[in-house]
Structure 1
């Protein structure tokens, strides 16, 4: 069996375990965690005037970004949401203006409709199944975010957004995996120095 096959199986097993762990969190805990994480984010993540923040529209049992979205927009920040264009394509980010309707954008998520301004975020908030102490992120396996980040030419702050229970001891990382700059959870913020990233 090859190292690639072993790594694929290891990640697949970790995804299954992470899904089960996240699904076991109670609805009341999820709601409280979303509020706490939003407060931590706005207090800890530097957003300069005019910068654009990309969020995700939570699906299934992901940590909800709705309290954060409301808070950022109330503070006058520009917010965009990702759109899946195709299986092997990078994500497209559409600016969301208050009052504009959202439409299905792939995998059960919502985003501004076609015709909304397409932008490149300065701060990218990423959903995930797990993370480790080195800032490695366990995604869903489709590679949308890794592919997208690889094509953005300006510096982007990568912020994982998750429940603290999603931390694992060691995350197997591949060359194409993009490590995070920080993780925000209901328990606080974890920052990863460049030399700590794999």
Structure 2
């Protein structure tokens, strides 16, 4: 069977929620215990992905439209910028229409690529209609896109906290990538309001987002919106 994309949307996902998320890690003695924190995060991922899977297509579309409106407000000037988005997976907000609109406004749109396991991501240019193949986890990646440096990375979240730390799928690819990129791109996490948790229990390797955009609004890390406004604002 060919690896070329025949179906744009990856398959579904379901897994049982873990009751560990119901108990605060400090109570369980997990603070400072990376193995325990990893296990707790696994439970949170399952819970949050299961919660996201309960959205109807109408609810998801409505919430995604809210995210797109807030992105437009936050990023009114994208012309000439290299912007990495993502291909929607496991019920994530589908921002491909926003990506197409950004491209129509003169942005160069990129998709992240896992070129090698446990190595930083690379970014390849992509426009609607360009050929895709299935990469890691069957997530589509550009076949012939040009490898470019991203100035802005929009990353989906499984969960997030008030300090703009992102809980992802656990592979560490985004953190590993942001740790080595020079210059470091601006990074925006996107998700739904209900994905906010008290804390992800950040560790030394966790890198906070510059902002989190949800259907409910925009949250800036430590109230510092200056870098995003300077590059993409009015």
TM-score calculated relative to the size of structure 1: 0.90
How far apart in 2 are the matches of 1:100 and 1:136? 33
How far apart in 1 are the matches of 2:145 and 2:52? 33
Which residue number corresponds to residue 35 of structure 1?
Answer: 65
Structure 1's 91 and 155: CA in aligned 2 closer, same or farther, altered over 3 A? closer
Pairs aligned (count): 194
Which residue number corresponds to residue 149 of structure 2?
Answer: 120
Report whether the alignment pairs 1:168 with 2:197: yes
Shift of 1:168: 0.8
Alignment gaps of 5+ in structure 2? 1-28, 225-234
How far apart in 2 are the matches of 1:137 and 1:155? 17
Structure 2 counterpart of 1:180, from 193, 203, 209: 209
How far apart in 1 are the matches of 2:76 and 2:183? 16
Which residue number corresponds to residue 139 of structure 2?
Answer: 109
2:100 counterpart SS class: helix
**Contact 1:47–1:123 under 8 Å retained in 2:** no
Shift of 1:194: 7.3
Could you say what the CA RMSD is over the residues aligned between the two structures, in angstroms?
1.8
Larger radius of gyration: 2
Shift of 1:105: 2.3
Structure 2 counterpart of 1:94, from 124, 137, 142: 124
Mean alpha-carbon deviation: is it higher for 136-145 or for 6-15?
A: 6-15
How far apart in 2 are the matches of 1:75 and 1:50? 9
How far apart in 1 are the matches of 2:204 and 2:77? 29
**Contact 1:34–1:67 under 8 Å retained in 2:** no
Structure 1 counterpart of 2:47, from 10, 17, 24: 17
1:193 counterpart SS class: helix
Give the strand-richer structure, 1 or 2: 1
Which residue number corresponds to residue 152 of structure 1?
Answer: 181
How far apart in 2 are the matches of 1:42 and 1:167? 22
**Contact 2:78–2:106 under 8 Å retained in 1:** no
Shift of 1:16: 1.5
How far apart in 2 are the matches of 1:23 and 1:64? 14
TM-score calculated relative to the size of structure 2: 0.77
Alignment of 1:62-81 (within 5 A): 62-81=92-111
How far apart in 2 are the matches of 1:7 and 1:106? 25
1:170 counterpart SS class: coil
